[in-house]
Amino acid sequence: DDIGKLVVLDYLLTGARFDQYSTSLPVNDREPARRQLANQRDPLRDQIVLALRQAYGIDAATDDHLGERVPEGNTFVTLAPDYDP
């Protein structure tokens, strides 16, 4: 969900796309709207980068960014509770 939002925000804020899609806004409201989108994008990007850094072991992992850890050697986890390979 967050990655999808980041992709959309990056798309809108790249090049002249924002100008193309903001023609319905009054001219005086366009720059504040652009800043608002950038203010949503920047912390979202930082959050995703931090989660990726933790997932790849570059930074120390925290529970608020990563889900359940898979034990080493168990790349795939079954959903069947009674199955033990």
pLDDT per position as a tens digit, 37-50: 999 999 999 999 99
Tally of structural domains, the chain: 1
Radius of gyration of the CA atoms of the chain, in A: 20
Residue with tokens 């199955």: 83
Q: What is the pLDDT of residue 79?
A: 81
In which band, very low, low, confident or very high, does the pLDDT at 26 lie, cut at 50, 70 and 90? very high
Q: Which domain does 33 fall in, by range?
A: 1-85
Q: What is the pTM assigned to this prediction?
A: 0.70
Start-end of H helices in the chain: 2-13, 17-21, 27-55
